[in-house]
A and B are shown apart, each in its own frame.
Chain A
């Protein structure tokens, strides 16, 4: 899945705008946002802070309603968080239930849907997917930031979602942890076949992970341009980042963001 919009779009946003009331009237956060997410695709959305990235992911996730325009999930308008969509937030410390063990956190979305044995099997499988088998009984606050973010990803994967929405998930992690989680995410995409909307302010991360990269820009924010990433499905932290396609796209995105930031 490279370049171009898939005919079978999972998510589709049409002319979405988002406005919040402020003391002197209202502030436009997003305006005229259009894009489609194809099945199995990773769409990276890159933009500087203050362009409404988090608002955009909250709208897609059904946590807030857009002010105008359409948000479609599998062709149906989104009203509230849709089934089959999981969200991974940047601030893992708040997003995890700190009073629950790692295993109990991962079970959060499935413990009432599956019987006990099936739930335990699913938790075990998801622990293995992110390499945390040995930490099932630990509490989140006993783990490093990278491990806590893995717990959050495993908790989302336990739902077996068709779409994962990720809001700057690796932004507060160190460079090494970030790189290993990026590779883990690409591997998980291969194993689960899920689609991803990946929001980041890091241009290189967007290119490295994305099948396509969309640029969110301006105040109010809008999708200014979208680029296919010609790197192939298999990525490598060293080789891919040195490839001419990578460097060329990086330069174009820097220009696209820098000129208008």
Chain B
């Protein structure tokens, strides 16, 4: 985005906030539990300095990252296997297509039954749905490696390990990264869901607690914090991938095959 686009975007946001402030502040809309942006900001500023807040944020981030890590390791590993082996695909694709569309929140009662109100329950609720984007994108990335590159690997007599790490993985990396990003945002959502209904810790539980304590300003504050956490995690992942794969992001998209 250019500076001008940024400025316009921020401007639009400010106008929305101003309208909200005026509507609530002037009493044009009367709704006891809808605080004005100003009240939310004030609540947020008292919230973030409390030691308990750091614990809540830390818990949610740790659960998100741990669950995401498990999902990504399993998902990319399986995805790489399925993407490179047509036989594995033939046997597994049907199972994946049956399991994948199951709604993520449907795992919550299952996880509760298995693990009760615990971190294990939260991790299961995160890992089960976050696995699929990593798996499916990695699989498609590996399956889509141009035949020319497999020809090159074969005629240069590269070992299986060299092929995987130095040819196929970098070639599939853009798709793998897409899967990792989708998994990460899903992991955060599922962590919050698990904390709201299951594991009584972290930002999700705090959100429900403030709602039940009739502190709508703090509740909205938590919503905001969760949103920002998602943006920051996504940004950090993008930054890390650009740093790890410098040659990747400016390569041309030219993909053509000779007759």
Contact = CB atoms under 8 A, between A and B. Distances in A.
Interface in A132-178: 139, 141, 159, 167-168, 171
Chain A contact surface mostly: loop
B171 to A, nearest CB: 8
B159 interface: yes
Given A98-B247, A112-B162, A93 B256 contact: yes
A87 B170 contact: no
Interface in B231-259: 245, 247-248, 250-252, 254-259
A94 B257 contact: yes
A91 B157 contact: no
Interface stretch (A17-25, A78-86, A223-231, A234-242): A78-86
Nearest to B257: A91
Contacts of A99: 170, 173, 245, 247-248, 251
A257 B167 CA distance: 39
B251 A159 contact: no
B32 interface: no
Contact of A100 (B148, B151, B155, B247): B247
B155 A94 contact: no
Contacts, number: 82
A159 B148 CA distance: 18
Given A91-B258, A97-B167, A100-B247, A86 B148 contact: no
B156 A54 contact: no
Nearest to A161: B155
Interface string A88-131: 01110111011111000000110010000000000000000000
B151 A93 contact: no
Given A89-B258, A141-B250, A94 B149 contact: yes
Given A90-B258, A91-B257, A91-B258, A98 B251 contact: yes
Interface residues of B, number: 29
A73 to B, nearest CB: 13
Contacts of A63: 151, 154-155
B12 interface: no
A61 B162 CA distance: 20
B156 A89 contact: no
Nearest to A112: B162
A49 interface: yes
Given A63-B151, A99-B245, A167-B258, A93 B252 contact: yes
Nearest to B245: A99
A139 B250 CA distance: 10
B152 interface: yes
Contacts of A50: 259
Nearest to B173: A99
Contacts of A89: 148, 151-152, 258
A87 to B, nearest CB: 5
Nearest to A98: B251
Nearest to B167: A97
Contacts of B166: 97, 108
B156 A93 contact: no
B11 interface: no
A99 B242 CA distance: 12
Contacts of A54: 258-259
A179 B148 CA distance: 25
Contacts of A95: 148-149, 151-152
A139 B146 CA distance: 19
A62 B171 CA distance: 23
A45 B11 CA distance: 65
Nearest to A167: B258
Nearest to B247: A99
Contacts of A87: 151-152, 155
Contacts of A94: 146, 148-149, 255-257
Contacts of B154: 62-63, 80-81
Nearest to B259: A49
B158 to A, nearest CB: 8
Given A93-B254, A95-B152, 19 more contacts: A49-B259, A54-B259, A62-B154, A62-B155, A63-B151, A80-B154, A87-B155, A89-B258, A93-B255, A94-B146, A94-B148, A94-B255, A98-B251, A99-B245, A108-B156, A109-B156, A112-B158, A139-B247, A167-B258
7 contacts: A91-B256, A93-B254, A94-B255, A97-B149, A99-B247, A112-B159, A141-B250
Interface of B: 146, 148-149, 151-152, 154-159, 162, 166-167, 170-171, 173, 245, 247-248, 250-252, 254-259
